[in-house]
Amino acid sequence: MRPKLSLRARIFTALISLVVIASFLIALVTIYQYREQSNQYHELRLERKEAQLQTRIEYILSQSPFPNSEQFLDSIFGEVVFQIADEQNVNFNIFNTDGKLITNTQLPTNDEAVSISSKTLALMHQNPAKNFVEISSDGQNRSAYSFIKNETGEAIGILNLSYVDDDSLSAMELENFLSRLSQVYLFILGVAIILAYVVSRFITKSLEEISDKITQTALDKSNQKIDLNPPGKELSKLINAYNDMVDQLAESAVQLAKSEREQAWREMAKQVAHEIKNPLTPMRLSVQSFEQQFDPNDKASAKKIEEFSSTLIHQIDTLSTIASAFSNFAEMPAQESELLDVVKIAQLAMDIFTEKYVVLETPDQPLFARLDRTQLIRILTNLVKNAIQACAETPNPSILVQIEGIDNKVCIRVIDNGTGITTENLDKIFEPKFTTKSSGMGLGLPMVKNIVETYEGHIEFESNAANGTVFRVWVPLVNAEK
């Protein structure tokens, strides 16, 4: 993550950047303007030379003893082209209308070196009234093409005028101007640096004092008000708001202390009610299951009575632990650490659920972990109860509880095909007092998470509306022989 610049640094950087960017843009505009002016100058100069040359050619045609037709071009101009070149101080070529060189002012005549491109020739014949200019790839040479016409307006030849863009003078002027401009902007940059430092320090000095006061503000101590003279119109509202907050904070501190004591009792009562409710539900389910399934004539009735009694005793012990913790204002329930067979405890915890779609899968061998027996049962019953509630509206509900050992850890999975957890609630399910149910205190999953983390484990889940939810509880696996 990049470190954030201070306000002073941002103001200083902004002012300097503004000057640098302005200098750079002005230099670019200046170079562009010089080039545009130079290009426009060469275009106009080429047009003038071409117009002067056409005027001279028209005069030669009018004074020639030969007919003004294409076949007599060589006779008409002959040696006179050199005279025209000396008068106009230009070099030019004369072609017939098919693009064949008739004469030029550069001796000796080289027909292969001087020619008209087929593309230019085609464009000229398509639009005889228009003059065409070709610019070389390096942008330094221009060639103007125009028709030579007789007194009747008939094209009898093509005039080609070559022109070299000489920008040496313009380039020297541009270089001198940019040199002077850079000296001016170096001076402006120096002034801008000093001004930016002074302005940024002036602006942030008051803000730093206000920031120091706000940083020292605390609810549990007496806070000092800000006194800046003069504060400035822009900061006065902020200072007044802070001073008003200090007054309100002092009043709120007293009310908050009282409110916190009352809230602590409310939270304690809510938590105790939730904790007591957890073992009561399994007890009720156990009694109902026992009433429905107990048969006095069954040979295994004694074992079932023993298991039923064991379940009730465990839940009663849980209630006793909660009551003791509440009376002593301690964390509840007190957690013990004993070596437990997670498989056996899971089988015992699942006996209280009579729903046929709740299925337990366990390995054949025991899996040991150091946990609190009551807390382990609470983890399982909470997760399964949540899964049952999630499947309440599912046509074919299915809840699978899996126990297995993976990489020196015991993994407890609770998989359901219920409604799943909505996207907006994914980050909230472990928050205390958060619940999507119409009843309940929203402490079940936070409690499970707290228990699991107490024993150096962790809990994770996956959920979507289409496939339901999978909760995974991981706790360290212990070798029973150690």
Q: Given pLDDT bands bounded at 50, 70 and 90, which one contains residue 272?
A: low
Give me the CATH number covering residue 477. Answer: 3.30.565.10
Helices (H), 166-300: 168-216, 233-293
Question: Residue 448 in contact with residue 375, Cβ under 8 Å?
Answer: no
Give me the CATH number covering residue 38. Answer: 3.30.450.20
pLDDT digits (tens, 9 = 90+) for 278-310: 677 777 777 777 677 767 777 667 777 777 777
Give how many domains the chain has, as a whole number.
Answer: 3
Average pLDDT rounded to a whole number, residues 371-400: 89
Average pLDDT rounded to a whole number, residues 43-66: 86
**SS3 for 343?**
helix
In a domain, 196, yes or no: no
Q: Which of 276, 309, 334 is the last residue of a domain?
A: 334
The reply to whether 266 and 410 lie within a common domain is no
Structure tokens at 252: 């709120």
Among 351-355, 399-403, 458-462, the minimum mean pLDDT is found in 351-355
Integer Cα distance of 474 and 482 in angstroms: 21
Question: Residue 415 in contact with residue 386, Cβ under 8 Å?
Answer: no
Q: Which of 334, 367, 394 is the last residue of a domain?
A: 334
Integer Cα distance of 311 and 285 in angstroms: 11
pLDDT digits (tens, 9 = 90+) for 12-22: 788 888 888 88
Domain extent for 347? 336-482
Integer Cα distance of 239 and 307 in angstroms: 71
Q: Pairing relation of β-strands 358-361 and 399-406?
A: parallel
Integer Cα distance of 352 and 310 in angstroms: 12
Beta bridge partner(s), residue 403: 412
Average pLDDT rounded to a whole number, residues 24-40: 85
The reply to whether 12 and 149 lie within a common domain is yes
Position 141 pLDDT exceeds 50: yes
Q: Which of 308, 334, 360 is the last residue of a domain?
A: 334
The reply to whether 54 and 150 lie within a common domain is yes
